[in-house]
Amino acid sequence: GESVGLHLPTLSVQEGDNSIINCAYSNSASDYFIWYKQESGKGPQFIIDIRSNMDKRQGQRVTVLLNKTVKHLSLQIAATQPGDSAVYFCAENHHASGGSYIPTFGRGTSLIVHP
Amino acid sequence: DTEVTQTPKHLVMGMTNKKSLKCEQHMGHRAMYWYKQKAKKPPELMFVYSYEKLSINESVPSRFSPECPNSSLLNLHLHALQPEDSALYLCASSLWTSGNTGELFFGEGSRLTVL
């Protein structure tokens, strides 16, 4: 997996701007990717997922792009709001026995939205 | 509100104490997880239970002892911990069925301080 840095990458944006958060993954065999949002003092929350046979998936105000050639994932947030301020983790899902998946988390990006 | 409930929210213990963290979910999920999260780092998988059986132990030291009394409950027994074990301990659950993406539902965590 990704090496974990000594500090958290930070993205600062103005309210109303679009945000793009990037993630590199390591396992080309991963077949599901999930973005989680973790607000201060809370556990991570699911935002959106994408299967490896797709290159784009859209949700409400969020879009995930997958580039398998360079093993890169991005999360785009449209019209960023102060409530979007949080740490965002990408997770690559490894297939486990019994049919389900075990997510391994990337190092995370702290998004700060200025009003 | 999260549907995974963790208690206590905060715990301070000495290195000779024995304590337990508790987790409960009533979503009918058959997989439950313990993750450890240090400040500004991603969650790291410790244990996975599927159908009340321990299916994954990520080489966690024996001073951490998980227990799954039934499909709704997950405990983490703590004994002879070290100060470096201080962290946020996150419980999560998932459906654990074939075809499931592995989306995890997290509790808000138990903040552990070892003195």
In sequence order, what DSSP letters do the residues of chain B get, joined into one string?
Answer: --SEEEE-SEEEE-TT-EEEEEEEE-S--SEEEEEEE-TTS--EEEEEEETTEEEEE-S--TTEEEEEEETTEEEEEEES--GGG-EEEEEEEE---TT-----EE---EEEEE-
Mean of per-residue pLDDT scores for chain B: 92
In this complex, is the C-beta atom of A14 within 8 Å of any C-beta atom belonging to chain B?
no
Q: Which residues of A touch B42 (CB under 8 A)?
A: 4, 89, 105-108
Q: What is the pLDDT of residue A3?
A: 38
The segment with the largest mean pLDDT, out of A23-32, B6-15, B92-101, is: B6-15
Residue percentage of chain B with pLDDT more than 90 = 82
Q: Assign A44 to helix, strand or coil.
A: coil
In this complex, is the C-beta atom of A101 within 8 Å of any C-beta atom belonging to chain B?
yes
pLDDT band at A103 (very low <50, low <70, confident <90, very high): confident
Q: What is the pLDDT of residue A99?
A: 60
In this complex, is the C-beta atom of A111 within 8 Å of any C-beta atom belonging to chain B?
no
Q: What is the pLDDT of residue A93?
A: 85
- For residues B26-52, average pLDDT: 93
Indicate yes or no: CB of A34 within 8 angstroms of CB of B48.
no
- Whole-angstrom distance, CA of residue A28 vs CA of residue A69: 9
CA-based radius of gyration for chain A: 14
Q: What is the pLDDT of residue A31?
A: 81
pLDDT band at A102 (very low <50, low <70, confident <90, very high): confident
Pairing mode, if any, of strands B10-13 and B110-114? parallel
CA distance A26 to chain B (A): 15
